[in-house]
Structure 1
């Protein structure tokens, strides 16, 4: 007795023990289901590429606590939200619009759930804030000028007072003293200082008067008084007092402006206090092309904005949130975002939607929410549709309620095993695993139909003398080998994904393989044992449980299924030639299929109108992130759309003048690139150590002097004392310097970077190509002193795209080779020709070319779901082919005639395959109704894959089997057109032998 016979005997003779053991095992594995976490982060698809590792060095690795190279304090623990106001024909730079935005900011800060997430400094920065800052700064400058004038007048009067006193004109001196006091009082009033600061100003002025008196006395007593050290000291003291009595009076306000912490009430007052002419001037000043604050403002305007214009159709406000208290922080590039951030960003959007103006709120939390909701809504829609279709299909195939219930119970058990394993193995549920339930449902139905239909065929063959248990034993023994082979080859197909560098793809292969093995155990043991017990129980009470197998007994379905056998009999070479031509065309298309790894793949569009009529539990929510993303890409630079060139020292330090010169040339090249984002002022968004020094030099005179002194040849690039210049840059503006320079504890500069803003319409492939060219240019001529690598989110995304494509190709080759070897050895070991393995696999290879060619024709790219299509095609396709080849060799041995064996195969096994294919196509086809775009694509292409696999197995494979039999197969008859035998003995024995089969389990398949 061989292995399938022993297993069949154990299952049928000890059915109750099998049921108890497997139900207990199902319960034990199922305990792991609640432990399954969910993750929608795209970061998990990143591999350990050099580019990804470089990005980790830039940003720091939270897993091992590695500090970032460049991020300023707290920067690595923040995420940004882009709040964009659209004018819809109105001017968003009008005073009413900016005031409305400031009032909206007040609402954000008054909402505790939002305010608690905001970063400490500059948490909200918009054009409205910067215009208000300009107005406040201008007001402070005017008030400061009043103080300056008042102080100068006071000091002039002080000298007049001293001269009058020296001349003994006491009355004039008294009048001058009164005028001095009046000037001080009037100046404080004109500058609107208030009582406290007026007193401070008066005290400083009085001190200045005393110092001025000291200077006057020295001037009277010394001819060369300017050379006097005492006089110089008094002059220096006077300048300090002058500074304190003017700028120093408003130190708090200037600090607030510098830190961006001016109270919103003051900002509103500043805007509302301006007259129309002043307001226009302030807006122009804020948004004019220039250095410093103006550049910040222009970065918040659309790329089409004309600098200095007082009219615009859209503008942006950036909201920075702290993720420091979260278990996992993230940004808009698909990183893990905590529930706290997600909820706060949804609250921001709710408040924005309640405003009179039209707002777009775009952030990582909103993207995460929409991806998660679209996954849930997709399953809510697809699940009932898939279940309904499967039930209808099973009703047609089974025509028996008990068999349908058993099939559904088996499917549930398989899913419990699969998701229970995920929980125990700590594998998170991500976008890819949405396909797992549908995949396993399809395979489970396939297994169930073959077991049940074989059992029905055997019961019909056994007649009234047969028994439920005996027929099931023969059916399991007959179909068992095929099921084991199908399981093995399908598992090989999915385990080939272990070669992928992408973690979720490897996990997908493992989980799918576990589910497939679970399907074999459940439908090869548990469900047959339950069916034996139920059928025996019912028949013992007079219920006849014998049913005709689907596709047998003649009729329309039988005639349709014989198309392949008829073509194989009449023109097998013609069939093969046509298939080869079609496959060559498909292979060419396969080379043209694009690869995609973008957020757009996972962002749902607005649900179609027909979903409005769905019941409440199935009705999807509203989705707007995709449209918002398109708007952001069209008008602004996304917060996460930045590429970088990381330059690291290989021993000599990055404070090399030649490196600075090389980076300057690369900056000029980047400015001319189509993939680089062009800001409203027409300049490319490229930041590096040189641009940072230029910006700081424009605002700090001391650094400007050092910067110019280091540029000895006048080309704008320092060529000496670069290390000292970097030291001074860190002292003057550490925040700006630390974004592009990394200094070790020993004071050496070991890394720098260029940050390149990428245009929203640029592809990841084009971006990566350009950035790698720039990196090569930076490294050119380094002589090993430094190295440069292109990185950043767009580059890492392209690496994932390449990894996806590599996974498709590598898993395809590995699967084809491994399945070919397995089938060849398996057929040889069971007494058939090893060449039958190649014949069985060939239709699957055809199917792969057809499906990839179809993807090219309909413009469907490889993504994290459709990238699995080759594994799925081979896994399902080889299952269909094995069933046909296995049944054909069995019937060939039994009947001895090629045409009779072929007709029996395509009507018997072909009927089971048709039922299986129909239910699986229906299950996967319902994914076309999914809200999640990637899932919808996966459903469509998988439905086509199963259709192709079925057609290849019942139309193409019969011709291949006929040719194999003619040239390499056993010596059998080719006489006559052939007809199915009166009764198809599933065990492969002759009708006379079927009685004995109840004891020996049937012959091998």
Structure 2
């Protein structure tokens, strides 16, 4: 079975091939980064629901042909209804039409509409109506005058006939001699004058042609009258009989009729002109009526001309008429909801600009064409309108959302990099390691974004967090690998050189590799738990994050270590010493801080656990009260703080006004996108369907979430409201509508399909908005209720669902939907994501860790204990969210799985290090202190980096990212605190009940007592009570160590060091003591040994001296920070002044370079002394280390193999001084020991105190030779 040692060997041995292969692979995957597209649409967060599908159906099947979107331009000044302000608004609209980039986006069927258009149109309509009335009156007067002229001409013909009859009679009298010539001339002249006067009077006002034509008629009339007179005379004389007379007189009378009819011919031009005028008048009336019915507006230039022609008082009168009580809803929809009807003054109004789009506009998104045009609209509005102007629309929102993502990266990126470099500088203190960390991070990001590009995952608002996430996690991995490598170089016989570099990296990867794999696995589990989310982008975020995390493991667990080995080896080969001290292991403030948790675990673990449980219980309560939010405002950027104006121009964010505009529109206006939609499907061409529509409108209007216009009416639109509006303007449709309403309730109850037909014929654009017709069949109806902008999604959903329930039934299916309702469903799904991902992550992580620890460590409960601090962390972070009023949103909704995924890393690293140190240390307390100070430093560095990485998101422009960065950073802080302050106490309790025998005392304190006098188990005295001997107890002098050893490497003489004797200054009280440990216990000529001297509890002034018998020494670590530390002339000194009254742990660690000339069988002796104001105590523990060139032979010759022997063999194997075959022989011998390894009361070979009371022999750890078992697992 391939173990982590094998993997580490492969990475180090084949590092050059590995570097080439991984760089090529990462480059190939990273090439996809160029294909990543971005998306700001909120519709991508919509889940599959019936309401979402119905809303999509409404968007696709109702409304005008083609796709449209609107921009609402809010105008604010002292009085937007004043003449000049109204003209400004119209001229602003004209500027939009004249702008080419905007004009090509405008909907030809819906011109920009504002209250200025309504007022101007009303004034034009009033003038047009007045003009039509005047023209009608003039036409009637002209028709009357024409009739009068015809009557006058007819009278003139009659008069002409009379005068002609007189003329005929005069002629006959003259011919008969009855009138003399003079009288004839006089009388005939008078008749001629009368004939002329009659014709002249009759043709007054007629044209010359008409006068001439009428003159012809009078001539014909005179001729006919003469004929008739002659016919009468012939009849009177008997010259013709009666029959002939009747015939001839009838002919004459018929001809008279033709003459009279000729009057119409005379007046025909005037009659035709009147007819044309009448027709034109009728046509103009019809056009005006049609425009009124369809809501058409006059051309914009005509509107401007109209208002320019009116004085202020005339405009004010028009405004008052338009906005009076009972005025049209269209006008009030453009005014603030607080407007008082009839008032001629208002401080705000709105202009609605309708634009065409290439496809349906999803919430929060818009094409570049719409974004650019609406941005230009905003610029023109601010330039042309005298007051304040705000633009609210999908294009502006999308523009600001996209820019906010880019600006966030621009602002946050440099801060993240600067913070990263700062932390890495503090942690690494080495330029090469810093560069390697940054290079590895760049490769990780390239790999992640390349995966997004190849798989088609769009970059959205969530993914701004991914670079920051990977920065934190990548450097986390890097710090652990680099710090463990540094520790290995300081402890494994490292004399420098390329070989030492490779061996140390092999040891580091073997030691930390398992933890890194476990961390990666649990973190990936946490993020992949989001696959259960019904929200698509959250699922994608989980997968992409998991890919990036695995990529970080590959880069920092294999590629960067391989490069580092090559780089360090290259530098070492040229004389550069690449050995560095691991962060947090050299004492100082960090070291003292990190030891707090270990000290608490020593002294009062149950108190720590109880306090943790109490705090976690409070957090758990708060977790149940955290709100959930999904609204468009979540993704609208806030105005950047003023200090960002001082940033360099390349980093300075742009202007963001949409949030303020959004809030203002919400509070004061009808929002075009804030509506509840009711979809009616089924048998909709029935009276029952329309009754349900009518009832729906009535109920929706009564709901609190429905907006009330300033005229007191709810803005509810449906097929019925359209029918009533059209009927008011069209008599024909009004008759059809009235005929279909048999009961007079205003709702058609028969011939409904015919009413729909008539509506489509009369007002097709309006009908299409609310009645869906496909192939002549009526498929669905729509009712729209405008909502208050600030209404919550839950309130809208609850109230509109109640309406839906009240009207459902029959052959019609009713569905309440709309953007707020769909958003509320997404909000509910977010909460589902939180709960499900938490449960899945917890269960899978618990099972995974328990199985792994059962297999690797023989203890499933260690996995349980490791994850417990993370569970506490979840309750802490959710409680904090409640206290800070931070809701779950699309980003913070992932915080629970992220908390577990990230937090478990800290616990795993500490548990793994503690488990490893248990096999190396004299006691559980020592193992805990070593683990916390060793791994705790790396944890602190990675926590600081991760917190900084996420913390810089508080500078983000997007509010969800600010919240996500803050709460995630706090999560890391909590995870770190839980791992170094809570987990040690949990591990101490676990060790006492389930861990190796003797690791901690039965009371769980790890030091044999519970107060300041009960100190740690004393290896010097060997007593069970852990107290140092009093001066009156028998004690022997500390003898020197015999230098001879046999061929096995065991000492040939026992150490005579017994209970240490107090020096001359002994005060008779219990004294502190110090213990020494040497690793490896057998040293190799030319190799090194790591010597650790620990004081479990000390206070006041303390001096520690160590003096090996041979070799050179270098001081690696002193904890806590000493007054002085010196390594010179083969001696080591540490001087402390410790403030703690009840004792403080102190420790030094130094490296002994073993001379290469020592022979097999010789011994390196150690002499040490602890100096106190009133005491002088020899350092206890191993006081000699045998020198051997045959490590395996020395171990096997002893006859038994324990855990310390295995540790020795492993270190020599890693340093290249022991072959794998020899190591396996030692391992098999250790396994054979276990079969008969039962606890006994017998003393070890050589009798009690063979190496001196309290001193350990070369295998003296009684705990290490027992395999850890636990009762609940076996």
When normalised by structure 1's length, the TM-score is 0.88
Aligned to 1:138: 126
Matched with 2:59 is 59
Asked if residue 33 in structure 1 is aligned to residue 29 in structure 2, the reply is no
Partner of 1:83: 73
**Contact preservation (8 Å) 1:157, 1:176:** no
- Could you tell me how far apart the structure 2 residues matched to 1:364 and 1:658 are? 38
Partner residue in 2 for 1:646: 679
SS of equivalent residue, structure 1 residue 304:
coil
- CA deviations 1:230-262 (Å, max 9, x no partner) are xxxxxxx99996762314257777777756463
Equivalent in 781, 784, 799 of residue 752 of structure 1: 781
Counterpart in the other structure of 1:204: none
Query: Which of 564, 567, 570 does residue 534 from structure 1 map onto?
Result: 567
Report what 1:698 is aligned to. Answer: 728
Secondary structure of the residue aligned to 2:203 is helix
Note if contact 2:866-2:904 (Cα within 8 Å) is conserved in structure 1.
yes
Indicate the residue corresponding to 2:1167 in structure 1.
none
Provide Cα deviations, 1:886-943, integer angstroms capped at 9, x if missing partner: 1111112332622111111111111111100011111111111222211111111111
The 1:939–1:164 alpha-carbon spacing in structure 2 relative to 1, beyond 3 Å, is same
The residue aligned with 1:974 is 1000
Partner residue of 1:860?
886
Cα shift at 1:72: 2.4
Distance 2:698 2:416 in 1: 57
Question: SS in structure 1 opposite 2:402?
Answer: helix
> For the Cα contact (< 8 Å) 2:153–2:203, is it kept in 1?
no
> 1:586, 1:533 → 2: CA distance?
49
For residue 713 of structure 1, report the CA deviation from its aligned partner. Answer: 2.8
Task: For residue 816 of structure 1, report the CA deviation from its aligned partner.
Answer: 0.8
Deviation at 1:329, TM superposition (A): 4.5
- Cα distance change, pair 907–97 in 1 and its aligned pair in 2 (3 A): same
Matches within 5 A, 1:236-635: 244-249=279-284, 260=296, 262-290=298-326, 294-324=328-358, 328-330=359-361, 333-334=363-364, 336-355=365-384, 356-465=386-495, 467-635=500-668
Alignment of 1:841-920 (within 5 A): 841-895=867-921, 897-920=923-946
- Quote the Cα distance in structure 2 between the aligned partners of 1:923 and 1:834: 34
Structure 2 distance, partners of 1:489, 1:25, is 25
Indicate the larger mover: 274-283 or 469-478: 274-283
Alpha-carbon distance in 1 for matches of 2:208, 2:108: 48
2:64 aligns with one of 56, 62, 72: 72
1:147 equivalent in structure 2: 135
Does the CA contact (< 8 Å) of 1:472 and 1:532 recur in 2?
yes
Of 684-693 and 244-253, deviating more is 244-253
Q: Whole-Å Cα distance in 1 between the matches of residues 865 and 209 of structure 2?
A: 110
- Asked whether the 8 Å contact 1:836–1:964 carries over to 2, the reply is yes
SS in 1 for 2:69: strand
Write out aligned runs for 1:34-183 (5 A).
Answer: 34-60=34-60, 68=61, 70-74=62-66, 77-87=67-77, 90-169=78-157, 170-175=199-204, 177=206
Residue 602 and residue 243 in structure 1: after superposition, are their counterparts in 2 closer, same or farther (change >3 A)? farther
- In 2 relative to 1, CA 273–247 (structure 1 residues): closer, same or farther, beyond 3 Å? farther
CA–CA distance in 1 between the matches of 2:278 and 2:450? Answer: 73
**Which deviations, in whole Å up to 9, do the C-alpha atoms of 1:367-404 show, x marking residues without a partner?**
11111112222222211111111111111111111111
Q: Distance in 2 between matches of 1:239 and 1:789?
A: 58
Deviations 1:451-478 (A, max 9, x none): 0111111111113357110110111011
Aligned position for 1:676: 706
- Residue 375 of structure 1 contacts residue 431 of structure 1 at CA under 8 Å; is this kept in 2? yes
- 1:180 and 1:635 mapped to 2: Cα distance? 70
* Range that drifts further, 967-976 or 692-701: 967-976
Q: In the TM superposition, what whole-angstrom CA distance separates every residue of 1:928-962 from its partner, at most 9, and x where no partner exists?
A: 12222111111111110100111111111111112
Aligned partner of residue 751 in structure 1, secondary structure? strand
Aligned mates of 1:287, 1:475 — CA distance in 2: 81
- Name the structure 2 match of 1:953: 979
Distance 1:180 1:277 in 2: 51
d(CA) in 1 for partners of 2:309, 2:688: 52
Asked if 1:925 corresponds to 2:945, the answer is: no
1:159 deviates by 2.2
Larger mean CA deviation between 833-842 and 468-477 belongs to 833-842
CA distance in 2, matches of 1:792, 1:479: 54
CA distance in 2 between partners of 1:300 and 1:739 (Å): 19
Shift of 1:584: 1.6
> Shift of the alpha carbon at 1:425?
0.8
Instruction: Verify: 1:996 aligned to 2:1026, yes or no.
Output: no
**Does structure 2 conserve the Cα–Cα contact (< 8 Å) formed by 1:896 and 1:972?**
no
| Aligned twin of 1:731 | 761
Shift of residue 786, structure 1, vs aligned partner: 2.0
Q: CA, structure 1 residues 240+259, in 2 after alignment: closer, same or farther (shift >3 Å)?
A: farther
Cα shift at 1:288? 2.6
* 3-state SS, counterpart of residue 796 of structure 2: helix
Q: CA deviation at 1:13?
A: 0.7
Which sections of structure 2, spanning at least 5 residues, go unmatched? 158-198, 211-256, 262-271, 1008-1015, 1017-1074, 1078-1090, 1093-1148, 1151-1202, 1228-1266, 1269-1274
Change (3 A) 1:240 1:778: farther
* Structure 2 Cα separation of the partners of residues 245 and 658 of structure 1: 44
What does residue 821 of structure 1 align with? 847
| TM-fit CA distance, 1:289 | 3.7
SS in 1 for 2:920: helix
Considering fraction of residues, name the structure with more strand.
2
CA contact (8 A) 1:121 1:259 kept: no
The 3 A distance-change label for structure 1 pair 658 and 238 is farther
Distance between the aligned counterparts of 1:276 and 1:564, measured in 2? 81
Provide the residue aligned with 1:7 in structure 2: 7
Does structure 1 conserve the Cα–Cα contact (< 8 Å) formed by 2:142 and 2:274?
Answer: no
Distance in 1 of aligned mates of 2:864 and 2:273:
98
Is the alpha carbon distance of 1:640 and 1:240 closer, same or farther for their aligned partners in structure 2, counting shifts above 3 Å? farther
8 A Cα contact 1:565 1:959, kept in partner: yes
Q: Which of 925, 941, 945 matches 2:967?
A: 941
Q: Deviations over 1:627-684 (max 9, x none)?
A: 11111111111111111111211xxx02332332233233222222111111121111
List aligned pairs for 1:207-218, cutoff 5 A.
Answer: none
Between structure 1 and structure 2, the one with the greater Rg is 2
Deviations 1:702-728 (A, max 9, x none): 222332333333333333333332222
Q: Which has the higher helix share?
A: 1
- The reply to whether residue 805 of structure 1 matches residue 831 of structure 2 is yes
Residue in 1 that maps onto 2:229: none
SS at match of 1:894: coil
Write the distance in 2 (CA, Å) between the matches of 1:179 and 1:795: 80
Whether the 8 Å CA contact 2:991–2:999 is kept in 1: the answer is no
Shift of 1:95: 0.5
Shift of 1:806: 0.8
Deviation at 1:756, TM superposition (A): 0.9
Alignment length (residue pairs): 928
- Tell me the residue number matched to 2:670: 637
Contact residue 456 and residue 546 of structure 1 kept, 8 A: yes
List gaps (5 residues or longer) in structure 1: 61-67, 182-216, 222-236
The answer as to 2:865 corresponding to 1:836 is: no
CA apart distance, 1:412: 0.6
* TM-score of the aligned structures, taking structure 2 as reference length: 0.70
Q: 1 CA distance for matches of 2:209 and 2:813? A: 67
CA contact (8 A) 2:82 2:345 kept: yes
Cα distance in 2 for partners of 1:239, 1:576 equals 105
Secondary structure of the corresponding residue to residue 628 of structure 1: helix
> Is the 2:517–2:553 contact (alpha carbons within 8 Å) kept by the matching residues of 1?
yes
Note the aligned Cα RMSD (angstroms): 2.7
2:80 is paired with a residue whose SS is coil
